[in-house]
Chain A
């Protein structure tokens, strides 16, 4: 297990691409190898994943007020 990563800035970018579903197959293979042998990269991956989950799951989603939906619909109908 590597305790130090010499290219952590690049690794971080790759990790984000993977978590965002934007990595190519080639990039996936490269990072996967690193994620098995490089401790700093494993930790980076866990952190990025945790932060993304904070945003996707733990933040409250505001819903559109019913009143606004009604207003928009009636404004649209008055256009024609």
Chain B
């Protein structure tokens, strides 16, 4: 009984913010700024106006942010999962000079807080002319040591005999990867797609630095830009927040199992 009580309490702690976020999204922005988020539910001041502003009156800026987030997350996830799978598989399957060195470097990078590299990365992005572009957001982080490590751990468990069998049948090395191994690595792909997508949908520090123009912002950067003391766009704060969270929650509710296994398959062995 005590168990259940503790769990209910924690579930309330997790879920109530969503409820209040939703309630606040119907209140006028000025009211939130003045009184903060509060427990009052006053139907007479609440309306769909904020959502109207979000999608209509804001000249579509919110939809731009949305579009940017979707494109960046899509591209980043697909490219990064594919490249990291290649690397992880290569490290697991082949013997070659420098293999150990590369694996050690992957492990070392797991330990480097990438935040310390933001200044030189910014300088580099200026040189490469990718500031304020999708490429600028995606490129520096497209090869992720975490994902490589994960794919390597997974691929090490694949039967090597398949490699030889494929060779005897005249399949090229990449053919073996695409036609034989990739289907076997499906669970790993599933997990990494989810984790990378979550990571890139919510990415903040780097996009904040690379993206300069309002219409190029991603959702988190756009929403953060609403809080500046110069803006009068407070009405969009919580309707924008709710609209950015709802799709992911829906996706999550339909794929709970894969989300949760995505976190467990890889993490523990580290």
- A and B are partners in one complex rather than unrelated chains: no
